[in-house]
Amino acid sequence: MAAPGKLSTCRLPPLPTIREIIKLFRLQATKQLSQNFLLDLRLTDKIVRKAGNLANAYVYEVGPGPGGITRSILNADVAELLVVEKDTRFIPGLQMLSEAAPGKLRIVHGDVLTFKVEKAFSESLKRPWEDDPPNVHIIGNLPFSVSTPLIIKWLENISCRDGPFVYGRTQMTLTFQKEVAERLTANTGSKQRSRLSVMAQYLCNVRHIFTIPGRAFVPKPEVDVGVVHFTPLIQPKIEQPFKLVEKVVQNVFQFRRKYCHRGLGMLFPEAERLENTGRLLELADIDPTLRPRQLSISHFKSLCEVYRRMCDEDPQLFAYNFREELRQRKIKKKEKQDDAKSYRL
C-alpha cells in the first residue's frame, strides 16, 4: 500500500494527454454547465494527495469531465473508482481510461444531484459513525453551477446519515469558487462568514487546503478555485433537525448587514413578531445587536434549541414562511384596489 498522502507507484499505461483527448473527441467546455477543465496533472495529483491515502480505497468522483482527476485517482491504486458524468460527450474518453485500468473504473451516465450513491458500493464497507471514516471517498472538480446546491444536499445527508454517508463519515475533497471555499471555512467575525460557514461547520471539520489559480483551467474562469476537505464530525455541534437549523441560519443571514434580530424576526408571523423575537433572543441569551457574522456556532445552537421549543409549543410555527405572508398581503391589497376601481366604474 502507498504511504499516506502519497500516490501509488502503480501507474496507468501511456495514454493521450487530457489536451489530446479534448482535441480527439472535439470537446468544448459548455458555459451553461459552468464547465472548466483542469489539464495540469501535477495539480490533479495534488488534489488526490490531499484527499488522503487512497490505496485500495473506493472513490466516488463527481463530474469527471475529460478525466484529469480521474487519471490521478486511478494512479493512486484505488480498489474501485465510480464516476458519474451528466454530459455524454465525455463518456468515450472515460471509456478509454476504463480500458486502460481493467476492473477499476465504473462509469455512470447520470446526474450527481439525483444519483443514489448509497447503493453503489458493497455493504461490507460500512463503518459505525463513531469509528474512523470508512474507506470510501468523494472527490470532484464541481461545476460552479451545482457546487452550492450539491454541498447543501450532502450536508443534509450527513445530518441524516444517509446518501454517501450510509458508509459512515465519508470524507470529501471538492473544488469551489475561491469565494465559496472561503465562506465554507470562514471563522466567526470574518467578512466571509455566511450561511454556508455555519451549515458546514456545525456538521464537519472543514479545511480550505489550497487554491488553484484560474489560469490553470481551460477555459480560464474569472475567479480562482479553492480545494476544500470535509470530514463529518462524530457529534454535530447543533443537535437539531437539519431543516430547522437551515431555516434559522437562512433567516439570520438574509439580512447580513443588519442586527441579528432583524432576520430572526422573520421566523414569526407579523402579529406576534416583536414579542416572539424578543422571547427567542432572551431565552437564547443572545445580544440582539450582534451582526449575523458575529454569531458563533454556540449562538446558533442556543437559537435553534429555543426555536425548537417554540415550534413544539405551536405546531404551525415551523411551517410559517414570511415571504408567503408578504405574497398573500400583496394579493389582498391588489384585490382591494381592483374592487375600488370596479366601485368607481
The rounded distance, in Å, linking the Cα atoms of 238 and 201 is 10
Q: Is 222 annotated as a binding residue?
A: no
Q: Which three cell numbers stand for residue 141?
A: 472538480
- Do 214 and 223 touch, CB atoms closer than 8 A? yes
Grid-cell match 368607481, residue found: 344
Q: Is 111 annotated as a binding residue?
A: yes
Amino acid letter, 168: G
- Do 78 and 57 touch, CB atoms closer than 8 A? yes
Q: Is 141 annotated as a binding residue?
A: yes
Q: Is 36 annotated as a binding residue?
A: yes
Binding annotation: 36, 38, 63, 85, 111, 141
Annotation: binding site for S-adenosyl-L-methionine? 36, 38, 63, 85, 111, 141
